[in-house]
Structure 1
Amino acid sequence: MAATAAAVPMDTRGNPHNVEPYQDNHSDVAKLFIRAGDKPGKPLAKGPQIGSAGASPSFVYITVCKSDFFCGRQIEWKALYPSVEKVPDVSTTPKSWTAALAAAKEAGGYPSGVPLTTADASGNYVYPAGVNPSVEPVCSFPSGCNKASDFYNAPDGVLALSFDDGPTAATTNLTNFIKKNHISASHNMIGSHIVELPTQFQQIIASGGHLSVHTWSHQHNSALTDEQILAEIGWCMQVIYDNSGLVPKFWRPPFGDLDNRVRFIAENVFNLITLTWNRDSRDWAIPSLFDQTIQKSVDEVRSYVNGSKSPGMNILEHELNDACVTVFETVYRDYVKDGWDIRNLPDALSKGNNGKKQ
């Protein structure tokens, strides 16, 4: 795999309407994820099938290695990817990805003066003393700062429907409900979860779900090095591409932990549209945090549904567990009754105002 030039910054991408749900399989970004011997849009054409325990006796992944991906031997499907639920070892990052990061920095625009965060005694991730995260050059979303390139507000009257943290065991019920009601949602997926639950990943595809990135192991990005962020995003994109033939276009940072350094890598190396949110169902807190309950989350969402339709709702919802899915299934009838235009992320963004903060 060859190095790619830096992706075009989102601010210069032209007409925001008719936004494609995925990146062109022949683009420079797509070339970062095409394994040696494979063809664009042909997921693991020469490799083991998703979820398989290993290769067939006759399987040889590739006879000539032209990249630093696994090749030249039989290999289990899971062994194609880093260990689950932790930051990937950056020494295993494909050289083409690190070259793309270097090219993006050389092209200019890398935000200087954005330090890493560290966890305080309460577990909150904070910047060093004297740094104001709510303004440039940091512009941290948890501190209330959004960029014009962030998909923050949905167009008027639109509900941008997406679910974080899948696939999980709860995905089965969620996708069955989605198919039954003939709607489409975006799924901001954790790469490790795809490796652990390939059947549920395939259920998302079968439901007509839109595939989006939620990193490899769901870390606080602002506390990671550039190389670790590169690996977190890249490996999630890789496992999605390998098993669907699709190169994601959208991503949501875990915990909304986003600043200009993280944006730069996502947008200028991987050409991703960054998704934040303007409403929070707080379903992620059920059942153990802040005494949150299903009913409290339902009431929270209903207060949004019955409020103004300008701007539209870009709501934070999860498929983390059955309780989260129950919240959505309960409030769905409210969405419909109140006349919300329910769309997945690219369809919502295509409708109106590029998701810019109003």
Structure 2
Amino acid sequence: MVLLTAFASALAISSPFLSLVAAHPFAAGEHEHHSSGPLPGGGKWFQDEDHPAHNLFRRNPLKKRDDSSDFLTVGSPEWVAQYPKSWALTEADVPKAWVDALNTAIDAGKIPSYAPSTVDPNGGVPNYASGVDRNSPDVCANSDRVCRIPQDVWDAPDGYIGIGFDDGPTPDSPKLYNFLKENNQASTQYMIGSNVLDNWQEFQMAYNDLGLDIAVHTWTHPMMTTRTNVQVLGELGWTLQIIYDATNGKLPRFWRPPYGDIDTRVSAIAREVFGMKAVLWNQDTEDWSMSDSPPGTTLTQIEKDMTSWLTGSKSPGLIILEHELTNDTIQAFINAWPMISQNGWKPVSQALLNSSWGAVYQNDDDDDSDNNNDGDEGTDLIFESLFSSDSTTSTSSATATSSGKGSSTTSSGAQASSTGQAEQGNTSSGAERSMSANAVLSLLVSAGFFFLLA
């Protein structure tokens, strides 16, 4: 187990952006592996205009997708005003509709009931309450790298290397984006919501100019297992919301927990409330630590590590943790790029590694199993209820009447496998996934009304 010394140093940095440099304290461990299926084809990402999903996110539900007034101008004062301003989200920042959806999942027994972990700010791994074994199948925390949650992703298919980067967008991101464009390479960008707010021009370059695959990396980059249920909602939900608003309607399917800090509770909230799948990694460059004093690694050491991985076994395929934090972290990827083709690897955006996961975006028209509502009355009722005045109420009142559900206390929930295998082909039924995607759309449009009326 590796101590969280980098996390402690991050807490001491006053600038939220600079604190991300100390981003990933866990080292990759050894696991059994599971290969994945074929790659998916292309297709349009948007729903047809008559699909009810569009109404769920519109600031004005009467307007059409091609009406530019449906979305505020990215970067405008009005656009900025829609989102939380505090680096540390509070439960009061979370719309009531999101908490209601959480409580529905709790009542259905889908969210584990143990309390959040705690972490010593001076370093260490997350600890749980007495009697809670973090390595048990019920918790399956990632702290010690001995347990894998079956629904989460760790490995690429044999012979493939998943391309993706954490912590964007940043002022240094254009160097990476230009390199990807020059090499005609797709990639998954795990975006921090508050970074999208601060660096929206770089976000537009990634989305508008390159069409990169956008995924969620939380709003403030916290250790997610230390957050209450409602705080987890805020971290994921607001990042989904700003990505949706900045892309005229894309709803990411994938997310990555900062520091790789995840357990069955956090994974279940992301999956059951927001329909998202967590993507982790099986190798770590530790490139974030190059900015430490003294540096935790160097460009030379990263090149040695990449050489070892890229000349090694192709089973399983590689998902390597890399960042677009600084010029150096980007240069580390650029230096290793020639070795990928030289050693016969197939580079693919991480979000496209396995067709059984579904489309990159939950509201992608070509993923019929996810998006065909087919007149589902229950889903239609979800749509309708979110436009009531109650849906704009903050959680300060919602949590007070939910008997503790919208907090760290939940009902009994899902079990996780301790076999160490990443069962990447594990997907829910089409009906369940359709409800999940449409419900997420409902939740996020209600957040827009929540902030507009606040």
Call closer, same or farther: CA 1:176–1:259 in 2, change over 3 Å.
Answer: same
- 1:263 Cα deviation from its structure 2 partner: 0.6
The count of aligned residue pairs is 319
Q: Distance in 2 between matches of 1:84 and 1:177?
A: 33
Call closer, same or farther: CA 1:31–1:253 in 2, change over 3 Å.
Answer: farther
- 1:18 Cα deviation from its structure 2 partner: 3.4
Residues 51 and 77 of structure 1 are in contact (CA less than 8 Å); yes or no, is this contact kept in structure 2?
yes
Q: Distance in 1 between matches of 2:144 and 2:217?
A: 20
The AA in structure 2 aligned to 1:313 is: L
Q: Distance in 2 between matches of 1:242 and 1:344?
A: 23
Residues 217 and 239 of structure 2 are in contact (CA less than 8 Å); yes or no, is this contact kept in structure 1?
yes
Partner of 1:45: 69
Q: Distance in 2 between matches of 1:141 and 1:31?
A: 38
- 1:123 Cα deviation from its structure 2 partner: 2.9
Call closer, same or farther: CA 1:135–1:282 in 2, change over 3 Å.
Answer: same
Q: Distance in 2 between matches of 1:146 and 1:23?
A: 30
- 1:20 Cα deviation from its structure 2 partner: 8.7
Q: Does 1:288 align with 2:310?
A: no
Q: Does 1:216 align with 2:231?
A: no
| Aligned ranges 1:1-358 → 2 under 5 Å | 18=40, 33-37=57-61, 45-52=69-76, 54=77, 76-87=78-89, 89-112=90-113, 114-120=114-120, 122-124=122-124, 125-144=126-145, 145-205=147-207, 206-244=209-247, 245-288=249-292, 291-350=296-355, 355=424
The AA in structure 2 aligned to 1:231 is: G
Question: Given the two structures, how large is their TM-score scaled by the length of structure 1?
Answer: 0.81
- 1:29 Cα deviation from its structure 2 partner: 8.1
- Determine helix, strand or coil for the equivalent of 2:180: helix
Call closer, same or farther: CA 1:153–1:209 in 2, change over 3 Å.
Answer: same
In percent, how many aligned pairs have the same letter? 34
Q: Distance in 1 between matches of 2:129 and 2:182?
A: 49
- Determine helix, strand or coil for the equivalent of 1:188: strand
Residues 162 and 350 of structure 2 are in contact (CA less than 8 Å); yes or no, is this contact kept in structure 1?
yes
Residues 59 and 71 of structure 2 are in contact (CA less than 8 Å); yes or no, is this contact kept in structure 1?
no
Residues 250 and 272 of structure 1 are in contact (CA less than 8 Å); yes or no, is this contact kept in structure 2?
yes
Kindly indicate whether structure 1 or structure 2 has the higher relative contact order, using CA contacts under 8 Å at least 6 residues apart: 2
Call closer, same or farther: CA 1:153–1:213 in 2, change over 3 Å.
Answer: same
Question: Given the two structures, how large is their TM-score scaled by the length of structure 2?
Answer: 0.65
- C-alpha distance after superposition, 1:317-352 (max 9, x if no partner): 100111100000000111121111100123212289
Residues 64 and 70 of structure 2 are in contact (CA less than 8 Å); yes or no, is this contact kept in structure 1?
no
- Determine helix, strand or coil for the equivalent of 1:277: coil
Call closer, same or farther: CA 1:178–1:149 in 2, change over 3 Å.
Answer: same
- Determine helix, strand or coil for the equivalent of 1:142: coil
Residues 191 and 215 of structure 1 are in contact (CA less than 8 Å); yes or no, is this contact kept in structure 2?
yes
The AA in structure 2 aligned to 1:282 is: E
- Determine helix, strand or coil for the equivalent of 1:151: coil
Call closer, same or farther: CA 1:16–1:148 in 2, change over 3 Å.
Answer: farther
- Determine helix, strand or coil for the equivalent of 2:354: helix
- Determine helix, strand or coil for the equivalent of 1:187: strand
- Determine helix, strand or coil for the equivalent of 1:108: coil
Residues 271 and 277 of structure 2 are in contact (CA less than 8 Å); yes or no, is this contact kept in structure 1?
yes
- C-alpha distance after superposition, 1:159-182 (max 9, x if no partner): 011100000011100000000000
Q: Distance in 1 between matches of 2:72 and 2:144?
A: 44
Where structure 1 has 5 or more consecutive residues not aligned to the other structure, the ranges are 1-14, 55-75
The AA in structure 2 aligned to 1:267 is: R
- 1:208 Cα deviation from its structure 2 partner: 2.2
- 1:23 Cα deviation from its structure 2 partner: 8.2
Residues 188 and 212 of structure 2 are in contact (CA less than 8 Å); yes or no, is this contact kept in structure 1?
yes
- 1:51 Cα deviation from its structure 2 partner: 0.9
RMSD: 2.8
Larger % of helix: which? 2
- Determine helix, strand or coil for the equivalent of 1:126: coil
- 1:85 Cα deviation from its structure 2 partner: 2.9
The AA in structure 1 aligned to 2:216 is: V
Q: Distance in 2 between matches of 1:29 and 1:252?
A: 25
Residues 166 and 190 of structure 1 are in contact (CA less than 8 Å); yes or no, is this contact kept in structure 2?
yes
Call closer, same or farther: CA 1:40–1:47 in 2, change over 3 Å.
Answer: closer
- 1:45 Cα deviation from its structure 2 partner: 3.4
Q: Distance in 2 between matches of 1:30 and 1:143?
A: 42
